[in-house]
Structure 1
Amino acid sequence: MAILSDNARGAILMMASMIAFTLNDTCFKALSDELPLFQALLIRGVVTMVLLFGIAWGMGALRLRLPKADWGFIALRTIAEIGAAYFFLTALFNMEIANVTAILQALPLTVTLAGAVFLGEAVGWRRLLAILVGFVGVMLIVRPGPDGFNSYAVYALIAVAFVTMRDLASRRLSKNVPSLVVALAAAAGVTLFAAIGTFSEQWVPVSELAALQLMGASFFIIGGYLFSVMVMRVGDIGFVAPFRYTGLLWALIMGFFVFGDWPDPITLLGGAIVVATGIFTFYRERKLAKRERG
């Protein structure tokens, strides 16, 4: 039996994480007509925290004696996770799942640009040009004009900013910080935020269908967390990262078969531009890394 290479395992884990996150989003959007946002987020958060705590305990990963600097970055990352969850899910409750996911495909570009601005990472003119072209693709999706603009697209863009901040904070964590501790802190922060938010909403009864959808969302978000942690530990990131874009394909499939939605040609064109420029950015990073090693 053939043994998979690290890159092959990394690609499979990345695609698995995208499937898990997209199925979580699908479950959450499906219950948006029945449950208010904060109630749904709180219930999912409690289940997620219990599962994550059990996994971390079983794996012996509950190490809390960490340097103050790491706790600072964990706190910053948790705040970013809270912002990302609120703005992304608000957009998801009010937009087609494929459109929201297409906007999020700008993340690799924004992380690259933010890394250059805030962390001093080198970015050549080709990658800067790719970032600019990628944002043109984002504008085609958002279409800030009287005919095509959806105000909730701004929420998706704000979510991109928060996720970018989250990823920058993640880069500053030392290697000794268990990933499960970071994920558990994020889940706890989002759950606490949701608990506070429920005071502004009226709780409604949870039907059997909504309960199943919440359980599905909790299960899939755990899978997304675990696969995304595992993928960072195998393979060449320049090879593995482009498989992130399979999330857009799954969002298109789920949007069509579950919600009967299909983006218009301009949105699809914008998504294709963003994906293409993101893949080029990773290609350039991989090529430069090989040149430095050579």
Structure 2
Amino acid sequence: MNKPSERATPVSAILLVFTSGILFSLLDASAKFMVMSGMSAPFVSWVRFAVHVGVVFLLFRGWADPAIFRFRSLPAQILRGVFLFGSTFFNFFALKTLQLAETQSIAFFAPMVITALAGPLLGEWAGWRRWVAVLVGFVGVLVVTRPGLQSFEIGHVYALTATLCYSFYVIMTRQLGARETAQSLIFYSALAPAVLMAPAVPFTASLPPDVLHWVILVGLGFLGGFGHLLLIKAYQQATATALAPYPYVQIVWMTALGYLIFDQLPDAWTLVGAGIIVSSGLYILHREHRLRLRDRSLPNAEDETIAKGL
């Protein structure tokens, strides 16, 4: 049985991933600010999902459009929401003790996990060129962030658990994207965590001390809601394997926010690592251009198989 051939990734899907990365970076920076201010991490994560539900309901006019409630498999929708809940919940705990650069460096293991899981779970096998590009990009991320895992602590356990949960969330997003509506995917991904975490709210609630904290707390739901909507749209246009390298660009947004909010200045190692990441990205763009030319010119699958060796 032949493996599915590589396909060119639509530019629109890449741009959607880039934009969602900006929103998720803002989400992480805001969450770190909140938990460092003394807010309860479980309560902050619950508000993030509760507001997310309200945003999606209003955005898609849930009172008039039943597509937001329609589903083919409710258990699968709930399981996907549980994975997203785990990703956010454990990430917020990690942010309490780790720097943004540390949590992000561990989060960058996700593309590797996704690439490995997409083959057996989705039948989306990566070509060797993309594997090399992903590995080179990841080396660049390690150079930038230098996680220092020799001083392993509970925060690293939280971050690793969050990364594993996120990887399964992405795999399920790709799996369900073809048969579930985008409205239902984004709605149930927030509703499931909000309902699951509701019983703990009375024991973890801590009200924001001022207007600024209220604005940031409510804003978490908007950032998460719109970010995941864009991510769903991206994975409906391209495979999980094809999009796996592009979240590396998020290190740019995280570096900028670290400087602007937490006074974290990039050093020479950061510049070297960024150069490696950019070089890897430029090669990926070159490979995507070759694949687009092939897709336009090749008349059948047999020729496509031959072209993969070019």
Instruction: Tell me if both proteins adopt one fold, taking TM over 0.5 as the criterion.
Output: yes
1:31 to 31, 34, 38: 34
Cα separation, partners in 2 of 1:30 and 1:117, compared to 1, 3 Å: same
Matches within 5 A, 1:23-172: 23-32=26-35, 33-57=37-61, 60=65, 62=67, 64-67=69-72, 70-123=73-126, 141-146=146-151, 149-172=152-175
Instruction: Determine helix, strand or coil for the equivalent of 2:178.
Output: coil
Q: Which runs of 5+ in 1 are unaligned?
A: 1-5
Segment of structure 1 superposing worse, 131-140 or 242-251: 131-140
Rounded to whole Å, the distance in 1 between the matches of 2:39 and 2:101 is 21
| 1:77-135 superposed Cα distances (whole Å, 9 cap, x missing partner) | 11211111111111122222233223222222210101234445434566666667777
Displacement of 1:162: 0.7
Displacement of 1:43: 2.4
| 1:27-80 superposed Cα distances (whole Å, 9 cap, x missing partner) | 22111123111222222322221111122335835354533xx32321221121
Rounded to whole Å, the distance in 1 between the matches of 2:66 and 2:101 is 35
Matches within 5 A, 1:228-247: 228-233=231-236, 242-247=245-250
Name the aligned partner's letter for residue 166 of structure 1. Answer: Y
Question: Does residue 214 of structure 2 align to residue 211 of structure 1?
Answer: yes
User: 2:50·2:194 contact (CA, 8 Å) conserved in 1?
Assistant: yes
User: 1:9·1:235 contact (CA, 8 Å) conserved in 2?
Assistant: no
Cα separation, partners in 2 of 1:21 and 1:174, compared to 1, 3 Å: closer
Rounded to whole Å, the distance in 2 between the matches of 1:110 and 1:272 is 24
Identity among equivalent pairs (%): 25
Instruction: Determine helix, strand or coil for the equivalent of 2:116.
Output: helix
Task: Name the residue aligned to 1:175.
Answer: 178
Displacement of 1:244: 2.7
Rounded to whole Å, the distance in 1 between the matches of 2:282 and 2:54 is 37
Question: Does residue 227 of structure 2 align to residue 224 of structure 1?
Answer: yes
- The root-mean-square deviation of aligned C-alpha atoms, in Å, is 3.7
Segment of structure 1 superposing worse, 168-177 or 105-114: 168-177
Q: Which runs of 5+ in 2 are unaligned?
A: 1-8, 296-300
Rounded to whole Å, the distance in 1 between the matches of 2:227 and 2:147 is 26
Task: Name the residue aligned to 2:6.
Answer: none
Matched positions, count? 285
Normalized against structure 1, the TM-score is what?
0.77
Instruction: Determine helix, strand or coil for the equivalent of 1:172.
Output: helix
Normalized against structure 2, the TM-score is what?
0.74
Name the aligned partner's letter for residue 188 of structure 2. Answer: A
